[in-house]
Amino acid sequence: MIGAGLANMAAAVYLIQEGHWRGDQITFYGADMHGANDGGPTTDFTSEYWNENHPMENTTGYVARGGRMLNYRTYVDLMDLLDRIPSATEPGMTAAEDTHDFDAHHRTYDKARLLQGGKGIIDGGKLGLNNKDRVLLSKLVMMPDDDETKLDNVSIAEYFKDDPHMFQTNFWYMWETTFAFRTQSSAQELRRYMHQMIYEFTQIEHLVGVNRTRYNQFESIMLPLIKYLEDQGVTFIDNRIVTDWDFADSELQDDITVTGIHVKNVDSGEEEVVAIDDDTAVIFTNGSITDSATMGDYDTPAPENMEYGISAALWKKATERFYNLGTPDKFFNDRKSSEWLSFTLTTKDHLLLNEITRITTQVPGNALNSFLSTTPITPLGQKDVNMSIVVHHQPHFTTQKPNESVIWGYFLYPRRTGEFVHKQYIKMTGKEMAQELIGQLSKVDPGPNNIKNKEAEIMDSIINNIPVYMPYASALFNNRAKTDRPEVLPEHSTNLAFTGEFAEQPYQMIFTEQSAVRSGEIAAYHFAGVSMDNLVDTPRYDKDPKTLLRATKKMFS
């Protein structure tokens, strides 16, 4: 296994349970043992992201580079996987039962999906679509699967080029911030989302289809997988980067057979070549949305790491040898289309949390709020989203103290300039991001109880706020052609499979949890000789007349 993220861990579970492989037949090589699904105290990250050239002054509080929303109706492979392993925090439950139990007691119903300065809570149920918007969206939904290549290399902006109104609708603001699409993202990918998430179209203003884990994604998803695989005897070799391949020479130049991998020790810099024999499969996660990520702290912005993603660099070396393995540069050579910035804010009391509860009129645990600018900041002179925050059910970490709060947020466009801190978001410290957040909240609720009146007290309550710059966070949505991602099982490959968000699966939308697990499942079944008929059935809501009728009615709201 090259890469120790969700996709390859899923492959390992299926190899053991469905293929009846022994755990000691599986070895992971990875720079870390969690992939994009991380989360924990800041001290867990210091060795990965800070060094003598960029010391971290404040090593308190928590950090998660991203946040995960689940959806039982669509994430069918993920839930199948989690039902195969014990929970890491709830005795007697599988990881799936743990999530179902928690979610049943903390259902999502967002009352403040959209917030706008001077107006407060916006009625997101009014999508704001006009007839041209409806026609173009309908064409996407009704487009047959076989016609999908017509959207090769077509961006969302190009698809709606004669309809700039689309990007001023409540629908777009909610879709953009729920899934992290941009106008320059792939229209082909938007089509897949509209197909597989069409039922969510009818309830997007409240996010009632969103399901959440009990704790952060590491402790509720990755930790159960790690513990299960360790108990099965799987070998994890941490702090390793695979830098190059050895391939077999063949009379048939198209044959793809790995004979060795070059493994670099991150700590020592030493490199070894691991031989791959004829009975060994190589399962490779060929890209990560958290590659080249960097972190700042309360007093330091997150620096830019200009390195090409490490997993994508290895993918690129394979494409230089073989023609049918995709185009890494489409995803990893266009940061303007893929970068964003997140922050994890930890407080020593619940003052900020209580203020957000008051402003949004809802308790923590089901709030996903987007703040809209009242000033034109896009090239078309439209208002657009400034910042999104997620207030999870507390505690979000098992070691979190009862008096502590953790809030997560992100800037989809990190090069934009703040309204209250006059810097680009990417240049802000954690402190300045907290000040910008308070300022945005003050615009939403400008009355006598304005949160600005408590700014000094709130700032004093902050333990830490960690900015994280991710140059490839939205790379999985980058504009592309269908052949720019390799298939999980490329033609002519004898022992190499690709997994994760940058592996092509017919008509599957690319979403971190679901598609990652399914790619691992496909790879495992192939190498273990298990029939693909045993794959978890993928629902097709775009074929359901009742769902389509409800979506049509919603378009006219």
Helix intervals (H) in 368-509 = 430-444, 455-461
| Partners of 430 in beta bridges | none
Give the whole-angstrom CA distance, residue 9 versus residue 217: 14
E strands, 364-435, where?
A: 367-372, 385-391, 405-411
pLDDT digits 0-9 by tens, 135-178: 999 998 889 889 999 999 999 999 999 999 999 898 898 888 77
pTM over 0.75: yes
pLDDT digits 0-9 by tens, 171-190: 898 888 778 888 999 999 99
Q: What percent of the chain has pLDDT over 90?
A: 64
DSSP assignment of 162-213 equals T-GGGGGSHHHHHHHHHHT--TTBBHHHHHHHHHHTGGGGGGTTTTTT-B--
Domain 6-54+71-93+215-336+474-534 fold: FAD/NAD(P)-binding domain (3.50.50)
Tell me the backbone φ, ψ of residue 526, rounded to 5 degrees: -60, -50
Which tops the pLDDT comparison, 179 or 321? 321
In the chain, where the domains are located: 6-54+71-93+215-336+474-534
Among 87-101, 491-505, 508-522, which is the least confidently predicted range? 508-522
Helix intervals (H) in 216-269 = 217, 223-231
CB 286 within 8 A of CB 311: yes
pLDDT digits 0-9 by tens, 270-288: 999 999 999 999 999 999 9
pLDDT over threshold 80, residue 236: yes
pLDDT over threshold 60, residue 46: no
Distances in Å between the Cα of 316 and the Cα atoms of 31, 327, 329, 441 are 18, 8, 8, 44
Q: Which residues contact 82 (CB under 8 A, 6 or more apart)?
A: 94, 95, 96, 99, 221, 224
Distances in Å between the Cα of 36 and the Cα atoms of 5, 74, 104, 148, 289 are 7, 20, 26, 29, 7
pLDDT interval class at 452 (50, 70, 90):
very high
Residue in this structure with the two tokens 């496909």, named with its chain if needed: 522
Mean predicted confidence (pLDDT) in 38-57: 66
* Crossing angle (nearest 10°) for helices 545-555 and 131-142: 160
Q: Which residues contact 465 (CB under 8 A, 6 or more apart)?
A: 61, 298, 343, 344, 345, 346, 430, 431, 433, 434
* Crossing angle (nearest 10°) for helices 6-17 and 514-528: 40
At 89, list the tokens: 């925090």
pLDDT of residue 264: 96
At 153, list the tokens: 């290399």
Give the whole-angstrom CA distance, residue 173 versus residue 384: 7
DSSP assignment of 517-529 equals HHHHHHHHHHHHT
pLDDT digits 0-9 by tens, 383-408: 666 788 888 889 999 999 999 999 99
Return the active site residues.
Answer: 193
